[in-house]
Structure formats: C-alpha cells, structure tokens
A and B are shown apart, each in its own frame.
Chain A
Amino acid sequence: MDISVRQLGKKYAAVAALHDIDLDIASGELIALLGPSGSGKTTLLRAIAGLEPIDSGRILFGAIDATRLSVQERQVGFVFQHYALFKHMSVLDNVTFGLRMRKRATRPPRAEIRRRGLELLTLVQLDGIADRYPNQLSGGQRQRVALARALAIEPSVLLLDEPFGALDAKVRKELRVWLRQLHDETGYTTIFVTHDQEEAMDLADRVVVMNAGEIEQVDTPAMIARQPKTSFVAEFIERKAGHADMSGVPSRA
C-alpha cells in the first residue's frame, strides 16, 4: 500500500518535533528514515503507526485517510527497537497474537492460526523454537520473532524502529542482508528508522534524511551520495558508521 504524509506537524511543549512534513512512499518500497537523535524520525514513524498523536496534517494509507484511525484500525506491523515481545508467552503465541486478538467473525480456526504461526517462523528462519520463551532467545532471534509477529497481521505497512539498534555489529550486518531478502520476497511497504547512514544507504530503495524535525532530502542512496542537497546531508553522509557520538544512542525525538 502506498503511504502519503501531508503537512504533518507535531509539537512537544512549544518545540516543533515535526515541521510540515510531506512524504510520498510508493507501494512495496523499502524506505529508511535517517537522521541524528532528536531529528524527529522516530516521531514520524510512530505518527504513521498512530502511536503518536499529531497536531496538524494528514496521513493517507492508499486512498484511505488514516489520520483519525486508531492504532488498531491502521493495521500496521510495528517492530520496536527493544523487541517488546510478550515475555510470558511462547514464541508461537507471540507470533499468533495478532490473529488470536481478532474478532470472532474474522478469526481463523485454532488449527489454522497455529499453521500460519509455524509458517511465519519458517519464513524468518526460526523453525523448531516455537515453544521457547523470549528470554531463551538471542537478540537476533528475538528481533526476527518480533518481525514475524508484525507480519502475522498482514500489515498495511511494516514500520521498524531502529530494528538493529540493540544488536552487535556482526548480527546487525547479517540481519540487514536478510531483511532486504525478506522484503523482496514478501513485498510489504517497509519504513525503518536508523541513525546509521551505512545501514540506510545499504538497505533502502530511498533514504529520507531528517534533521531538526524537517526533511532535508529524499532520494536513492546513489543520488544522496553523489548530490547531497544541503550541507547537513553532505556532512551526515560523510560520517563513518559507528562514529562515537552517533552509535547506540536510541533516538526519541
């Protein structure tokens, strides 16, 4: 589904966190929201999900105006930086949660729910751990369970908040490649937030560079590298991955 953001504005106390954001995302695209801490990228992602109330503007999911829709009605697949798995549920129960929460009329029968759950676990390459609990898994495994859980509801859009932020560098690279493959297989419109420009440039079809609540540039990684529109973009892209003041800082604008 294509996603459009029109004139989106959001303020925290008198400070503008998002300032008249306009963004069009085509169906099936893999988009990175890139920027330093406090640039508003996470706020924008959460606003699209409906987790963050906005002050002005509109959010469109295809032809539907989603601005007034609740989080539940938007049916977005959201993956949190720290996974937010349900600790007291098995991996399978985590993955099937969205299906089990459906109203009776649209809920598949129990056997079907189980089958779909196991299928998703195969998709994220986690066969055979359906009965384990989140605290028995590694970080990378947890993140993949979180992704399977988000995919289970057949989301209108997949939103990932710093999906690899809490993982070590090696796992991060592996998962990056894997996420690209998964995206190409499933074709969900995907938006992910990152402060790591290498990750954004490597993975995304288009990169949205943000700074201080505004969009600096939206372009393909190649164009951003070749023709940065502003000095901010040029400087930010120059920086090497894992720079001391950028790495590992969870951003919440």
Chain B
Amino acid sequence: MTTLIDLPFSVSPVISGMVFVLLFGAQGWFGPWLSEHDIKIVFALPGIVLATTFVTFPFVARELIPLMQAQGTEEEQAAMTLGAGGLRTFWHVTMPNIRWGLFYGVLLCNARAMGEFGAVSVVSGHIRGFTNTLPLHVEALYSDPGEYSAAFAVSSLLALLGFVTLMLKNFLEWRHGDELAALRGKA
C-alpha cells in the first residue's frame, strides 16, 4: 500500500504523462469510448488536473496517514455512541482533527503542482490560453529568442508564488507545530 502511494514519487513525471496519453489519448485504451461520448481529457484541462493530482497525491497521503494513525479512532467511536452517523462523524470529529495536516498537505501539493513540468507537458498539448501552465509558458517563451525578457518575467512570477507558499508553510509550522510534529515523528 505504502509502495503504491509512493509510486508517483519514484516514477518520472514524464512517464506518468505518457501513461495518461496511453490511457486516454485518441489511440489509447479508453480513447474510442471517450471520443464517442465527446469527452476530452488529454490536451485539455481534465488531463492537466489528472496528471497533477497523480504527481502530487503522495504529499497529502504522506501527511495524513501518520497523523490519523497517531490520533486513533477513539473520538470517532465516542461520536458513534453519541448517535452520529459516518458522515457527521467525519465532518464534525475527523475533519477538525486533521484540518491542519490536510491544509499542510494541500500546500505542499500546491507548491509541487505550480512547478510541475514533466507530466503536464506531455498531456497538455501546450495550447496557449487554454491548456498552458506557468512552467510550460516559461519554456515556450524561452525557446523563442525574441521573448527572453518575457520568459524571465513569468519565471519571476512563478518564483514569487513559490516564495509565498513557503511563507505560508512556515507560518503553519509555527502556528500549529505541535499538531504537525505528530506526523513528523512517524513519517
């Protein structure tokens, strides 16, 4: 299970991108079915989302699994004896207990997603204004000799966003360090 969760870490993002094309592309396994139903995944937004989710998935999982294991299930059991069903237990008890860990994971995901190049590069198709992401845009601009300065401008923007994310991460660690320490110990 853990091996499976860590798979996106060990596989090159370009390869995961290729796999998505293989699955959902026009010649892919699900390609004919998808085109029949007029659903576009590869070279469209769903493809980018899918590829990014796959690549960043371990960040959230790795944050949350140790945290939830450390917290155990007693509070959930208490909620059940008090009459709360599964959904309400999750919403009122589990969720508040993991919220900072979850947010932290999402933040790491976000950092990774912003910089993700390989997988997205393969599935997006680089359609400017539609399926472009910042890193892809930097690459596109940089390969055009006339647009060097624009490439650096976009890069700066990306770096700035990265910096903001880092600040948020540090703030979280400072504010909710105890809670996050629980997962640091076991990770």
Contacts and interface: CB of A to CB of B under 8 A. Distances in A.
Interface of A: 49, 51, 71-72, 74-78, 80, 82, 84-88, 97-98, 101-102, 149-150, 152-153
B75 A86 contact: yes
A144 to B, nearest CB: 15
Given A86-B93, A87-B97, A88-B96, A80 B82 contact: no
Given A51-B77, A84-B78, A86-B75, A101 B96 contact: no
12 contacts: A71-B80, A72-B80, A72-B83, A75-B83, A80-B74, A80-B78, A86-B79, A86-B92, A97-B84, A101-B83, A101-B88, A149-B78
Contact of B78 (A74, A75, A78): A78
Nearest to A81: B74
Would you call the interface of chain A mostly helix, strand, loop, or mixed? loop
A101 B81 CA distance: 11
A82 B74 CA distance: 9
Contact of A72 (B74, B78, B84, B96): B84
Would you call the interface of chain B mostly helix, strand, loop, or mixed? helix
Interface string B82-98: 11110010001100110
Given A86-B78, A86-B96, 11 more contacts: A71-B81, A72-B81, A72-B84, A75-B83, A78-B81, A86-B92, A87-B97, A97-B84, A101-B84, A102-B83, A153-B82
A85 to B, nearest CB: 8
Contacts of B83: 72, 75, 98, 101-102, 153
Contacts of A80: 74, 77-78
A97 B82 contact: yes
B141 to A, nearest CB: 47
Interface string B39-52: 00000000000000
A87 B93 CA distance: 9
Nearest to A100: B92
Given A86-B75, A86-B93, A51 B81 contact: yes
Interface residues of B, number: 16
Nearest to B95: A88
Contacts of B96: 86, 88
A98 B75 contact: no
A88 B179 CA distance: 12
B74 A149 contact: no
Contacts of B97: 87-88
Contacts of A149: 78, 82
B84 A84 contact: no
A85 B85 CA distance: 17
A101 B88 CA distance: 8
A98 B83 CA distance: 6
A77 B81 CA distance: 7
B67 to A, nearest CB: 13
Contacts of A85: 75, 78
Contact of B82 (A51, A82, A87, A101): A101
Contacts of A153: 82-83
Given A82-B74, A86-B93, A76 B81 contact: yes
A149 B84 CA distance: 13
